Amino acid sequence: EADIYQTPRYLVIGTGKKITLECSQTMGHDKMYWYQQDPGMELHLIHYSYGVNSTEKGDLSSESTVSRIRTEHFPLTLESARPSHTSQYLCASSDVASNEKLFFGSGTQLSVL
Amino acid sequence: KNQVEQSPQSLIILEGKNCTLQCNYTVSPFSNLRWYKQDTGRGPVSLTIMTFSENTKSNRRYTATLDADTKQSSLHITASQLSDSASYICVVSDRGSTLGRLYFGRGTQLTVWP
């Protein structure tokens, strides 16, 4: 069982609201990632981090932002949610010791009305 | 065009039967290939990793193969169980960066019926 946790599991909000999806891991991994997944589609990388104070945008254009102030914590923020943001958001971590195997959280299913 | 293609898109089998899932990729250069299992409503979990020099690797009832020449991999599940019902995702890593970019397939949705 991976020691990586996401909250909330489910979130239903109205358009225009600001939200933060939480992700924490206790494995001491340097690298952390946020992926977006729609049903029947591949995972798309939206943000990643190599370590504290390091964040990069991924392949998928996103209106979200991330921060990495502590090794274990990698929250994702949407300043103004829109219906197009409705999706499953998966947080993951990895390190060299695990041969960069991704450890995923259980995900946050976001619905924007 | 996705550089990792999986087939079939979905599969239904009876409990106790075997099945084989396919993954074809065009990613180059190639570093490794992983198979992940994703239960409904959960995050993916790694089943096995295949590197360039490995042809076959087994993990309990799962056997993965890799043909780096034809850029094909398969995941064979033996004596399927109801708990095998999940999406199986093929992920290929290149050597283009220190991190190694990951290319995800769309997964094969496996349903095991009693």
Instruction: Determine how many CB atoms are found less than 10 A away from the CB of residue B70.
Output: 8
* pLDDT value for A96: 81
Give the number of other CB atoms < 10 A from CB of residue B105: 27
Q: Distance of alpha carbon B86 from its chain centroid, rounded?
A: 12
A54-63, B21-30, B69-78, B92-101: range with lowest mean pLDDT: B92-101
Q: Where are the beta strands (DSSP E) in chain A?
A: 4-7, 10-13, 19-25, 31-37, 44-51, 54-57, 64-66, 76-78, 87-94, 103-104, 108-112
Search chain B and give the residue with CA nearest A88. B41
* DSSP characters over B36-101: EEE-TTS--EEEEEEETT-SEEEETTEEEEEETTTTEEEEEE-S--GGG-EEEEEEEE-SSSSS--
Contact between chains at B89 and A41 (C-beta distance less than 8 A): no
Residue B41 with chain A: CB contacts under 8 Å: 106-107, 109
Query: Given an 8 Å threshold on Cβ–Cβ distance, is A106 in contact with B43?
Result: yes
Q: What is the pLDDT of residues A8-49, one digit of tens each?
A: 999 999 999 999 999 999 999 999 999 999 988 999 999 999
B97 touches chain A (CB under 8 A): no
Q: Would you mind telling me the total number of residues written for chain A in this entry?
A: 113
Position A60 scores a pLDDT of 76
Does position B98 have pLDDT exceeding 70, yes or no? no
